[in-house]
Chain A
Amino acid sequence: MKTFFYNIGYFMKEAWRTIRMNFLSNFFSIIGTGLILFLLGLVTVGTIIGNQFITKLSQEAEISAYFVEDMGVDAAKELVSEIQNIQGVWNAKLIDEMQACAMMEDMLGEEAKILELFEDNPFKAFIEIRIDLDAMETVLSQVASLEGIDYVRDNRAVLKQLQSIIRGVEVVGYLITLAVGITTLILLSHMIRQGIYNNREQINTLRLLGAPGSFIGFPYVLVGVLLTLLGGGLAIALLILLIDGGYPKISGTIPFLPLPSQTLLIQQSATLIVTVSVILGVLGSLFGLSSIGKDNR
């Protein structure tokens, strides 16, 4: 360990010398790694936004319970308090015909003119129930079994579709991460092997002088980590540019999409990219280094 600390300066110098020796190839491998990691960053950002969207939607999961037509307002209010007591129900509210019509007008916006075609209010009073998404099945069956409830409408289908889209994005994310990993490892181990080949005389001499494998190999691990970190830095820079430019546009065009905070998004993606860079750097170097030390010469 003492020897390691004594030689930190030497290792860094050697790593820098190895990078300089093959500067153009290393420069392009940084660009390549950067673009690959940028892809990973894009997937990460997509997954973070998607998950946030699902969480928000889940928190605001609503069902509508319609009661029998001849039920009076008092009986309906009693039903509301009964529903309120069911486990998994956060809030229950009676919406009368007028409120139901106003809500629809809000939803339709400019298209609300179509409602003028009706002579009478076509909407029925109902009970709006905000629930815990995880308890949806139980709540639904309990509400439906209450006396006076005609039928219950839920938005499970929409939520399930959204969840499957997010799951799809996640699977694509895993595949891209795998592809990023394999590509970076191949690229990097090739660069390290090239570095080792260029320094083969020196490595051979060090071996004959009794240098341990860790002493010979550590500068190359540093090279690998440095190359992927520089690539990671490039990916983060591109991602920041994209988020800075794209965020206001997304939140402007899709105002209902609950986006996570920009800083948090950048922080989380950057942390992931840096971690992946370091891991890939170390692994890629170790793969490359496996060509050292096959014999004693």
Chain B
Amino acid sequence: MIEAKGVSLRYPDGTVALKDINLHIKPGEMVYITGPSGSGKTSLLKLLLGIEFPTFGSLKVMDKSMVRSRKGRINKLRRRIGPVFQEFKLIEGRTALENVMIGMRFLGKSPRKIKEEAINALKRVGLEEKIYSKVENLSWGQQQRVAIARAVARKPALILADEPTGNLDYDNAINILKLLNSFKDSNTTVIITTHATHLIEGQKDVTYIHVNNGSITVEREELAV
């Protein structure tokens, strides 16, 4: 699914965000990327989504080399990823349903199928009552659920969630993590960044990637037999 060998990322202003990252993530894994603010978590997600490219080393996402090349290749890869952005990136003035549907319109599905799957995704995140509400009229937590619905409705092979618990209280944060966890299956890998380590402690069958000052340590918690 994801393979990084000696990956470093240096921004044009000289800031080194990631140093010599080696990583192997298998399909169907549940991965938490943890670390304090500014440690490089978001930079790692940006590499996986093709927003940034490694300065050194090689990175493969779903067997595709992430190199600064033709946009078409990155676009195709992104269609297999379900991103949940920290600031949601929902389109104001549109309903929850329209926001979910817009991410599916270029996947070659019929409008009827798109609507059906988008409604199902919204139902799955518990927003069946808010399908036709404008997103700006929804609460923070509801907007986040719309963003999650948009990501999962595409049936992606990889879900990338950047700080999904960022502004939520404890109960809502736990619920969102449980929800994201529920999308993990043998075909779908879920990667979540968070600095709130207390929310994810003690989980089994997960991989923790701790990022600190651009370097990582990987720790795998096997499922108890």
Asked whether B71 lies within 8 Å of A10 as measured between CB atoms, the reply is: no
CB of A296 closer than 8 Å to a CB of B: yes
Asked whether A296 lies within 8 Å of B91 as measured between CB atoms, the reply is: no
A297/B51 contact (C-beta < 8 A), A208-B78, A210-B76, A210-B77 known:
yes
CB of A256 closer than 8 Å to a CB of B: no
- CB < 8 Å: which of A204, A215, A296, A297 contacts B105? A215
Distance (whole angstroms) from the CB of B4 to the closest CB of chain A: 19
Q: Please count how many residues in chain B sit with their CB below 8 Å of the partner chain's CB atoms.
A: 30
Query: In the bound complex, how far is the Cα of B76 from the Cα of A210, in angstroms?
Result: 6
For chain A, the bracket of interface size reads 20 to 34
The A contact surface, by secondary structure, is: helix
Name the residue of chain A whose CB is nearest to the CB of B91.
Answer: A202
Binding site for B on A (CB under 8 A): 2-3, 6-7, 9-10, 201-202, 204-213, 215, 293, 296-297
Q: Which residues of A contact B108 (CB under 8 A)?
A: 2-3, 6
Give the segment of B26-34, B55-63, B81-89, B179-187 that binds chain A: B81-89
Distance (whole angstroms) from the CB of A211 to the closest CB of chain B: 5
CB of B141 closer than 8 Å to a CB of A: no
CB of B110 closer than 8 Å to a CB of A: yes
Q: Which residues of B contact A297 (CB under 8 A)?
A: 51
Q: Which residue among B105, B108, B150 has the maximum number of chain A CB atoms within 10 Å of its CB?
A: B105
Q: Which residues of A contact B68 (CB under 8 A)?
A: 296
A3/B106 contact (C-beta < 8 A), A209-B83, A210-B76 known:
yes
Asked whether B89 lies within 8 Å of A215 as measured between CB atoms, the reply is: no
Asked whether A212 lies within 8 Å of B102 as measured between CB atoms, the reply is: no
Closest CB pairs A-B (n = 5): A210-B78, A210-B79, A205-B89, A209-B103, A215-B106
